Structure 1
Amino acid sequence: MATIPQLSRLSSLDVREVWPHEAHHFTQWLLQNADVLSDVLGMDLELTQAEKPVGGFSLDLIGKDLQSGATVIVENQLATTDHSHLGQLLTYAGGTDPSTVVWCAPAFREEHRAALDWLNEHTDEGIRFFGVEISAVRIGDSAPAPLFRLVANPNDWAKRVHSQKAASQASASPRSEAYEAFWTYLLKRIHEERPAWTSARTPSRDSWMTLPFGASEIWYAFAFASPSRPRIELYFGSPDADRNEAAFKVFESRRQDLEAGFGEPLDFQPLEGKKASRIVAWGPTTHTIMDPAQHPQVAGWFIETMTRFRQVTQAFKSATAHQPTAAPLATEGI
């Protein structure tokens, strides 16, 4: 006779049992656990500051979409949505010029959900509004776990059509369409083969696409110098040139180890005249994204090469996290 499995029950918790105070507990927890919000939004999100002053008020959280570099703001509450927080959300949006606006609450009144839908339908495609319902659960006597659910989100296709009609935009170039088609294919492969790399779901129409590195102001990128010259890179992109230089030199000082682990030479580029720096691995010039028949081959090169590149750079990041000779600003989070 087959053994009957013994299963526990999933139980819901009052959010204030897990996060007693919105500002002191939930906002600070979310600042340190942005990946939970990233997963539900389908983007690579980095939250950088809590209680950011906006005029005479304080925005709960601000950060950026690592894929585009655009600003993301988050307004939280631990009660059913109300008009006051909707007003605050719009006030903060006016003071920060975000691309993504997120409202988190345990429950959304229907009129507030409808307000977010209306904003998504009537604003241009450069800004998106999300409603995220927050809750917490546990299995048996386990530790509480967050459970987030989208209750309002933009209809990107409808917004794009509306924007194109309203602005009479010219059709995209064949090259940008080729990039979008390729990144769509590559993202699908990544989510199937390397799902931990990114939460992003929206493909780029540019010649590059970023991935999180795990440190503020540093990220990975897939890119093309031309449609037939692929590369992967570790990009040091702080607005502060000194921070970039210091972080870059920490990696450059271990160049031999990095190249030995990677298995081939790397191109260390200080990018003279710019604030940024990068470390590049170049691909073969026989690869082009203009031919859809080559997409599997090009995507395969990107995934295989990034796998090796991540292994050596992530191991190096961990090994040098507390390196005493490194500049403190440069190694924060490295």
Structure 2
Amino acid sequence: MELQLTEAERRVGGFALDLIGTDLATNTVVIVENQLEQTDHSHLGQLLTYAGGTDPSTIVWCAPTFREEHRAALDWLNEHTDEETRFFGVEISAVRIDESRPAPLFRVVAKPNDWTKQLHTERSAVTLSPKSLAYQEFWGELLGRIRSEHPTWTRSTAGSSQSWITLPYGTSTIWYGMAFTVTGPRVELYFGGPDASVNLAEFERFVEHRLLLDNEFAGSIKYDPLPGKKACRIHVDRLQGDVLDADSRIEFLDWFISTMARFRPLTQQIRATLESGA
């Protein structure tokens, strides 16, 4: 997984989760709980508490050694939870060669059933439709330009075969999106956390500072609370365009880059204002 750290010591109720981040390929939440000694019941309970408070897809428990009972508990969780939820147990030690600096050595001791086989199957056996292949090629080319022209936007390198890709915003529940909708290309800020009421509250706080975006994008920007759904979005649309239109490929690439180059700094400025309490 290509991971981007979102926060260290994330507050979950009265506890502090060690690390929370995002799997850039799937835009799903990853949490990590570190333990400095052999695993114990207390940290297993904390791990489940943090999972309940952050709705992650991937849960990782790191420790120098795992008790067999705790390794078996992770195996049981992998067998009895849905396929979208994955538990890993990782033993960490230090190694040194001659006079080199110590380096970390990780050993996976618990993982989802057939994890390696599943990854191999997913990567080798999927047959893409012409449109899915076009998305994959387009997003791969777009990410290549982003890495060259705007390397701070994302570290993702793999083009998606879906109609959209995501870029980090700075929190695990809000992210940028670039997509081909039924009407054409779109750049958006997506409020997509697990709690609909929190998403709406964050969206409404953001919209209170919309003047910067309104001045830049005038009537082309939309603020959509998506009534009846869990998520909310703020988006700018280009009203024509299909990924299969090869003749307009460069035009679409330029539009996504130029629009995000205007959209991102303004939304980050609003984010800074909100985090400062202004």
Alignment check: 8 A CA contact 2:28 2:57 kept: no
Can you list the C-alpha shifts for 1:109-142, whole angstroms capped at 9, x where unaligned?
x9x56997x94443x24xxxxxxxxxxxxxxxxx
Work out whether 1:160 is the aligned partner of 2:145.
Answer: no
One of 255, 264, 270 as aligned partner of 1:310:
264
2:194 corresponds in structure 1 to: 239
The aligned amino acid for 2:61 is E
TM-fit CA distance, 1:58: 3.5
Q: How does 1:66-77 map to 2 (within 5 A)?
A: 71-77=57-63
Q: Is 1:205 aligned with 2:161?
A: yes
Aligned twin of 2:93: 106
Q: CA deviation at 1:309?
A: 0.6
Aligned mates of 2:199, 2:25 — CA distance in 1: 28
Aligned residues: 241
1:89·1:103 contact (CA, 8 Å) conserved in 2? no
- Residues in 2 aligned to 1:236 and 1:83: alpha-carbon distance in whole angstroms: 39
- Pairs within 5 Å for 1:5-154: 30-31=18-19, 34=21, 46-47=29-30, 50=33, 57-58=44-45, 60=47, 71-77=57-63, 79=64, 84=68, 87=72, 89-94=74-79, 96=81, 97=83, 98=85, 101=88, 103=90, 105-106=92-93, 119-122=114-117, 124-125=118-119
Q: In structure 2, what is the Cα distance between the partners aligned to 1:115 and 1:236?
A: 33
Quote how far apart the aligned CAs of 1:195 are: 2.1
Which residue is 1:185 aligned to? 141
Post-superposition offset of 1:317: 0.8
1:16-55 CA-to-partner distances (Å, cap 9, x unmatched) read: xxxxxxxxxxxx68516x48xx7xx87767445759xx9x
Determine the structure 2 residue equivalent to 1:7.
none
**Aligned twin of 2:233:** 278
Structure 2 segments unaligned to the other structure (5+ residues): 1-15, 35-40, 96-104
User: CA shift at 1:89, angstroms?
Assistant: 4.6
What is residue 8 of structure 1 aligned with on the other side? none
Please state how far the C-alpha of 1:94 moved relative to its aligned partner: 3.5
C-alpha distance in 2, partners of 1:244/1:294?
A: 35
Equivalent position SS for 1:219? strand
Provide Cα deviations, 1:191-249, integer angstroms capped at 9, x if missing partner.
Answer: 222222223233222111111111242111011113x6000111111332222222222
Q: Which amino acid letter does the alignment assign opposite residue 93 of structure 1? A: N
Say if 1:59 and 1:92, in contact at 8 Å, map to a contact too.
Answer: no
**Amino acid in structure 2 at the alignment position of 1:323:** G
Q: Is the contact between residue 266 and residue 279 of structure 1 (CA under 8 Å) also seen in structure 2? A: yes
**Aligned equivalent of 1:289:** 243
Once residues 229 and 295 of structure 1 are traced to their aligned partners in structure 2, the CA distance between those partners, rounded to angstroms, is: 13
Find the residue that maps to 2:175 and give its secondary structure.
strand
Q: How does 1:191-230 map to 2 (within 5 A)?
A: 191-226=147-182, 229-230=184-185
How far off its partner does 1:292 sit? 4.1
The verdict on how the C-alpha distance between 1:70 and 1:320 changes in structure 2, with shifts beyond 3 A counting, is closer
Change (3 A) 1:105 1:264: farther
SS at structure 1 position matched to 2:161: coil
Q: Contact 1:59 / 1:74 at 8 angstroms: preserved in 2?
A: no
Gaps of 5+ in 1: 1-27, 64-68, 126-155, 325-334
Larger Rg: 1
Give CA-to-partner distance per residue, 1:163-188, whole Å, 9 cap, x none: x3xxxx7x332221211111111122
TM-score norm. by structure 1 comes to: 0.58
CA contact (8 A) 1:182 1:289 kept: yes
Q: Deviations over 1:64-121 (max 9, x none)?
A: xxxxx970111212x3x6684754553443355425847362359x9x56997x9444
Is the contact made by 1:218 and 1:235 (CA closer than 8 Å) also made in structure 2?
yes
Take 1:191 and 1:44, find their aligned partners in 2: how far apart are those partners? 18
Identity of aligned residues (%): 32
Q: Does structure 1 retain, via aligned residues, the 8 Å contact 2:91–2:108?
A: no
Counterpart of 1:106 in 2: which secondary structure? strand
Task: Provide TM-score, normalisation by structure 2.
Answer: 0.68
